């Protein structure tokens, strides 16, 4: 029984090695190629199709030859950390970040893929805005601002939210692009570009353990060493209102 199990395991390894790399690894002997071709085609098309759907913008800016070469190499060489199919896009990010992965062109591929993954991740986040505790009468200045639980904040060297077939930057921007990706109350996934100050405010709210919005804006005014902190705080009121209107902030709680 043990010998039969080991033999079956060897056949499985040989079969999957061939499926991953049919060009360089022969199929197990005594297996009809017509039958093997079904699996060769089916498994690759499943992975490639899932990646195309997960990274539609990335797919649209890469020609067919490079795209299939990239997915073939991922399929052939990447050792996944999870067997869960919905995690394949994240595994592709690991692949792109691997030092042994070729430096694909255009240079923004890795950042664009990460941005598209954040959108997918926000859509799959099981947390709901309706589950968050807020006080209807509290405002974000005198109360503690509460963030949308699905937000993801990240900075990029490229303006990834603008990239598409009609816009493909050849080099990174001089300034970082700050983006917050989230799912709103209507379950639509959206994004908002942040300036440096707004990004800092969102960061402070994420770290917040009990400070009201006014206090957070005072921290920013102090960090900026602004000669008139009232100007920063007044501007911050408008920022908080915009974040609230966009569902990045969903309300506040009383102190």
Write the pLDDT tens digit of every residue in 35-78.
777 777 888 898 999 999 999 999 999 999 999 999 999 999 99
Nearest to 249 by CA among 197, 215, 196, 204: 204
Residues in contact with 208: Cβ distance below 8 Å, sequence separation at least 6, in sequence order: 144, 145, 216
pLDDT tens across 79-103, in order? 888 888 888 899 999 999 999 999 9
Nearest to 103 by CA among 64, 60, 63, 73: 73
CA–CA gap between residue 225 and residue 204 (Å, rounded)? 17
3-state secondary structure of 84: coil
Contact 205, 212 (CB under 8 A): no
What is the average pLDDT score of the chain?
90
Whether pTM exceeds 0.85 = yes
CB neighbourhood size of 23 (10 A): 7
Q: What is the pLDDT of residue 2?
A: 58
Domains of the chain with CATH codes: 2-105 (1.10.150), 130-253 (3.90.930.50)
């Amino acid at each position: 029984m043990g010998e039969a199990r080991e033999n079956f395991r060897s056949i499985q390894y040989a079969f999957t090695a061939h499926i991953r790399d049919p060009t360089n690894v022969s199929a197990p002997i005594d297996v009809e190629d017509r039958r093997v071709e079904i699996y060769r085609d089916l498994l690759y098309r499943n992975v490639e199709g899932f990646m195309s759907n997960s990274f539609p913008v990335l797919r649209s800016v890469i020609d067919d030859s490079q795209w299939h070469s990239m997915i073939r190499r991922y399929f052939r060489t990447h050792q996944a950390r999870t067997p869960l199919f919905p995690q394949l896009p994240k595994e592709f990010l690991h692949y792109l970040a691997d030092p042994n992965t070729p430096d694909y062109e255009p240079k923004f591929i890795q950042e664009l893929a990460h941005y598209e993954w954040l959108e997918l991740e926000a859509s799959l986040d099981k947390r709901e805005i309706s589950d968050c505790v807020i006080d209807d009468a509290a405002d974000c200045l005198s109360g503690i601002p509460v963030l949308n639980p699905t937000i993801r904040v990240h900075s990029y060297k490229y303006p990834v939210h603008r990239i598409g077939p009609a816009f493909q930057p050849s080099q990174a921007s001089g300034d970082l692009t700050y983006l917050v990706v989230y799912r709103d109350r209507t379950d639509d996934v959206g994004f908002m570009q942040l300036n440096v100050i707004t990004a800092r405010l969102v960061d402070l709210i994420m770290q917040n353990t009990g400070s009201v919005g006014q206090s957070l804006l005072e921290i920013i005014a102090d960090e900026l060493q602004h000669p008139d902190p009232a100007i920063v705080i007044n501007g911050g009121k408008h920022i908080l209102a915009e974040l609230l209107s966009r569902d990045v902030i969903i309300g506040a709680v009383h102190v």
